[in-house]
């Protein structure tokens, strides 16, 4: 499968990109999986957004359970 994340991480010219992920605590194994961006509008200021942190964590868990790496 051709993954968009391969364009960001593969090859010698992408070593700086990989080093940033490693500095953030990602492992080589995690970077071999599809990278899935998870974005949240969580805020303690807006009452309607108070539950978004729990929803975001559930999404990240789902990504992991299905073989991806949430970022």
- What's the pLDDT at 1? 67
- What's the pLDDT at 43? 87
Question: Tell me: the pLDDT tens digits for 10-22?
Answer: 899 999 999 999 9
- CB of 63 within 8 A of CB of 38? yes
> For residue 4, is pLDDT > 80?
yes
Q: Which residues pair with 70 in a beta bridge?
A: 36
C-alpha of 33 from chain center: 10
> For residue 33, is pLDDT > 80?
yes
> For residue 41, is pLDDT > 80?
yes
Record the pTM.
0.82
Please give the DSSP secondary-structure letter assigned to residue 34. Answer: P
């Amino acid at each position: 499968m051709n993954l968009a994340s391969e364009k960001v991480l593969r090859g010698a010219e992408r070593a700086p990109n990989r080093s940033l992920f490693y500095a953030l605590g990602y492992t080589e194994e995690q970077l071999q999986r599809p990278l899935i961006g998870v974005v949240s509008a969580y805020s303690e200021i807006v009452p309607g957004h108070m539950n978004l942190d729990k929803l975001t964590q559930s999404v990240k868990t789902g990504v992991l359970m299905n073989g991806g790496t949430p970022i």
